[in-house]
Structures are given as C-alpha cells and as structure tokens.
C-alpha cells in the first residue's frame, strides 16, 4: 500500500484535469524556450565570434523582465490568464518564423537577433507571471507545493531534448531549419493552452490603475520579510551566476573543444539534474519546509559552478553541471512556491510579477559576466561570480532569518474545481 500512496502524493496536483492541460502547455513552452536559447546563443557566437555580442543578445532577450516584469504581474491580475497564455506562445511562433525566413534567405544580421530577442523578451514579461499564477488558480492552496514542483520537474525534463534537438538540428538542417521547428513548438504550446478554462480577473480593477496596483505590490512585499528575502535570493542568483548559461558556447569551443552535439549535452545534463531534484521535491511535497530547502538550491549552484569553470575535462564538466542543475531544480521549484503560500489571492499576480522582475536582473548579470570574460577569461569570471554568490547568501541568511524560521506549511483545504 505504501508505494501507491507515495505515487498518489507525488502526483497529487495531476488529479486536477485543468492542471494536466497547463502541465502539457508549460512543458511544450519550456521545450521551445530552451531549444530557442541553445540555438540563439550558438547563432550569435557563430555570427560574431564575440562573447560580448553573445551577452548583448541575451541582454535584449531578458531586459524586458527587469523593465516591465512587475507590470506583467499587474496584467496577470487584470486580464483572463488563459488568453494571455495562448496569445504569448503564438506571438513567439510568429517571431521564430520570421527569423527562419531571414536565415533561409541568407539575410540574417546581428541587429535582427537583437530586435527579435527584445520582442520575445517583451512577450515573456507578460507570459511568465501569468503561467506562475495559473498554477494556484487551477489546483488551490492544498496542492500548490506539489503542483509547482511537478510542473518544474516536467519543465526541466522537457528542456533536456530541447538543447539536444537544437545541437543535432544545427548539424543536420542548419539554423534556418532549427527556427522553423521552433515556430512549430511555440505554436503547439499555444494550441495546448486552448483547453484551459477561462480565468477571469478577481475584482473589477482597471488598467488605468496599473501604476497604483504596481506600487501596492511593492509595499506588500516589503512588509513581509520572508517574501522579500526570497526575492532577494532570486535577484542574487540571476545577477551573479545564472548568466553562465549564456556563455556555454564559449566554454564549449574555447575550453572543452566540443562539437555542436556535445555542446547541446552541456545544456541537457543541466536540465537532467534539475529534473531529478524537482521530481524528488514533488514526491516529498508534504515532508519538507520550503524555506530552508529553497536555500539548498543556490548553494548547489554556486559550489557546482566552481569545478565546471576550472576544468578542461568533458566528464568533469557534465558532472559539475548535473550538480548545478540539481540546484536550479530546487531553486526554481520553491521560489514561486514560497511566494504563493504567503500571498493573498488578490496579490498573487503582482507577486509573480515581482518574481519575474527579480529574475529580470539576469541581463545585467550577463553584461557583467561578459565584461569579466573579455577581461579575465571565462573560467576566472565564473569562479569570481560563484564565490560572490556564496558570500552574499551567507550574509543575507544570517541577517534575515525569517525565510527559514517562520515557515508556513501548505494547509489542507478544499481543492479548487478544475
């Protein structure tokens, strides 16, 4: 009897039919996104040969998260989240199709990459808070820890074939063919989201009050130390270490001497580690305290990047990235969970918007890391930023203990109809 009970606990959120639809749509969107990122960074490095230019492409792709990510959370509280989830994926498909056309006609230029990256970043700023808030809408408070961990696990699993497919397709059909396949992936994610029920906004707020709503969201977070401590850790990770992903082509070519397919495995092994960690969390959703467990994630990322940055061995590199991926799985699963558990329903979209805003410091981190790589080399840059993260984590957790002392466990309650 123990195994069926454990299995039922591990997949508690999947008992909600609407969550299963969101689960599928998010998996398709995640596969497309990381297929996209692997191909985009390779294209930028091939086109320019410059780590700085690779950093610029990533900067334009993610700066909208910082610029308007919090506003995206306001929009998630103002509009039907189902419609937003559908429209954003179809918009991504249109942009990918445009890039495919340019590549197939040999008309691609660096400014096309910058412009399309900025446009897809704007789309993502609306999409990410909406999808994160939808989880609680569809499963309710009782199953939210399991739902977020399960969604993260599946998202991480879906990221594994994305970079592998990207690396293989670069060699087989070229970059133009890759972007045609990418357009199909994004379109499929939008089609899957059509099965979601409408999620009308709570109350009758107007878009004219968006600025006031945004300010209210910031005040709400600042009054709750555990919320802003989790947001601060998210900011530190994205500012200091997670930009390493943008520079995997630099390590692949200059340090590890890898072909395109083995370059794809660097991404894939990272997401395999994330899948293993987030799956373990999904199976133990009622058996751990999210706050203290959340802190394990950034520690694994920081310590795992040190050997990766210092090695020229492919084996050591993939083992290190597996550990880094496990840290990312823990970190990604629980950053939204902590906020959802501690946030009133009317503020949910805005807190997810603030989370996306903190994730949005990533482009600033990419510029910093790109500059350090140009000055001191890739290895020295990643070692320095990893050590900086570990020191900052120690200082923050010693100062703000609320994140792991006043823990709020998920409470039992009636499931939301789905």
The pLDDT tens digits of the residues spanning 327-338 come to 998 988 888 888
In a domain, 308, yes or no: yes
In a domain, 87, yes or no: yes
pLDDT higher than threshold 70 for residue 363: yes
pLDDT higher than threshold 70 for residue 407: no
CA distance 157 to 276: 9
CB contact set of 386 (below 8 Å; sequence gap of 6+):
240, 241, 301, 302, 303, 305, 306, 309
CA distance 211 to 227: 21
Q: What is the helix (H) or strand (E) element at residue 122, kind and residue range? A: helix 110-139
What's the pLDDT tens digit per position in 194-240? 988 887 776 555 555 667 777 888 888 888 887 888 899 999 999 99
In a domain, 180, yes or no: yes
CA distance 181 to 103: 13
CB contact set of 347 (below 8 Å; sequence gap of 6+):
77, 216, 217, 220
Confidence at residue 116, expressed as pLDDT on a 0 to 100 scale: 93
What's the pLDDT tens digit per position in 43-79? 888 888 887 788 788 788 878 877 777 777 777 777 7
pLDDT higher than threshold 50 for residue 31: yes
Arithmetic mean of pLDDT, 186-192:
93
In a domain, 301, yes or no: yes
Q: How far apart are the first and last CA of the chain?
A: 28
pLDDT higher than threshold 80 for residue 306: yes
In a domain, 299, yes or no: yes
Confidence at residue 4, expressed as pLDDT on a 0 to 100 scale: 58
The alpha carbon of residue 103 and the mean position of all alpha carbons in its chain are separated, in whole angstroms, by 27
What's the pLDDT tens digit per position in 289-302? 767 788 899 999 99
CA distance 308 to 298: 16
Arithmetic mean of pLDDT, 304-320:
95
In a domain, 350, yes or no: yes
pLDDT bracket for residue 389 (50, 70, 90): very high
What six digits make up the tokens of 100? 């495919």
More confident residue, 154 or 324: 324
In a domain, 416, yes or no: no
Residue 206 dihedral angles phi and psi, to the nearest 5°:
-105, 150
What's the pLDDT tens digit per position in 101-129? 999 998 999 999 999 999 998 898 888 88
pLDDT bracket for residue 253 (50, 70, 90): confident
More confident residue, 341 or 177: 177
CA atoms lying within 13 Å on the CB side of residue 36? 28
pLDDT higher than threshold 80 for residue 351: yes
Q: How many domains does the chain have?
A: 1
CA distance 368 to 144: 36
Spatial CA neighbour of 251 closest among 240, 262, 242: 262
What's the pLDDT tens digit per position in 263-287? 888 988 998 898 898 888 876 656 6
CA distance 197 to 199: 6
In a domain, 205, yes or no: no
Spatial CA neighbour of 165 closest among 49, 305, 267: 267
Confidence at residue 62, expressed as pLDDT on a 0 to 100 scale: 79
The parent domain of residue 177 ranges over 7-196+211-405
Q: What is the CATH number of the domain that holds 364?
A: 1.20.1250.20
Confidence at residue 288, expressed as pLDDT on a 0 to 100 scale: 64
Spatial CA neighbour of 193 closest among 17, 24, 35, 416: 24
Burial class (CB in 10 A: 0-12, 13-18, 19+), 96: buried
């Amino acid at each position: 009897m123990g195994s069926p009970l454990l299995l039922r606990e591990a997949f508690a959120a999947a008992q909600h039919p609407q969550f299963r639809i969101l689960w599928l749509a998010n998996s398709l969107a995640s596969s497309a996104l990381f297929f996209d990122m692997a191909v985009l960074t390779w294209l930028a490095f091939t086109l320019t040969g410059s780590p700085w230019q690779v950093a610029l492409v990533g900067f334009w792709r993610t700066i909208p998260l910082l610029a308007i990510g919090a506003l995206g959370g306001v929009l998630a509280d103002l509009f039907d989240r189902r419609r937003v989830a559908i429209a954003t994926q179809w918009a991504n498909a249109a942009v990918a199709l445009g890039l495919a056309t340019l590549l197939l006609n040999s008309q691609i230029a660096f400014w096309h990459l910058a412009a399309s990256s900025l446009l897809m970043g704007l789309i993502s700023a609306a999409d990410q808070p909406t999808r994160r808030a939808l989880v609680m809408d569809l499963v309710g408070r009782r199953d939210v820890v399991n739902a977020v961990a399960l969604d993260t696990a599946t998202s991480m699993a879906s990221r594994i074939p994305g970079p592998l497919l990207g690396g293989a397709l670069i060699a087989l059909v070229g970059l133009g063919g890759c972007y045609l396949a990418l357009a199909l992936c994004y379109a499929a994610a939008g089609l899957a989201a059509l099965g979601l029920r409408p999620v009308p906004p709570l109350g009758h707020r107007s878009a004219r009050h968006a600025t006031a709503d945004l300010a209210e969201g910031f005040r709400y977070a600042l009054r709750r130390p555990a919320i802003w401590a989790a947001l601060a850790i998210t900011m530190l990770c994205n500012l200091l270490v997670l930009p390493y992903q943008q520079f995997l082509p630099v390590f692949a070519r200059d340090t590890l001497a890898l072909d395109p397919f083995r370059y794809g495995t660097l991404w894939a092994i990272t997401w395999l580690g994330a899948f293993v960690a987030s799956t373990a969390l999904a199976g133990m959703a009622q058996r751990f305290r999210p706050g203290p467990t959340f802190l394990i994630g950034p520690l694994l990322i920081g310590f795992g990047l040190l050997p990766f940055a210092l090695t020229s061995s492919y084996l050591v590199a993939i083992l290190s990235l597996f550990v880094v991926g496990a840290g990312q799985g823990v970190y990604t699963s629980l950053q939204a969970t902590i906020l959802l558990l501690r946030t009133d329903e009317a503020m949910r979209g805005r807190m997810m918007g603030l989370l996306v805003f903190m994730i949005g410091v990533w482009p600033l981190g990419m510029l910093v890391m790109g500059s350090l790589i140009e000055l001191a080399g890739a290895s020295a840059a990643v070692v320095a930023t990893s050590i900086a993260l570990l020191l900052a984590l120690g200082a923050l957790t010693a100062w703000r203990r609320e994140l792991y002392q006043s823990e709020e466990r998920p409470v039992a309650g009636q499931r939301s109809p789905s």
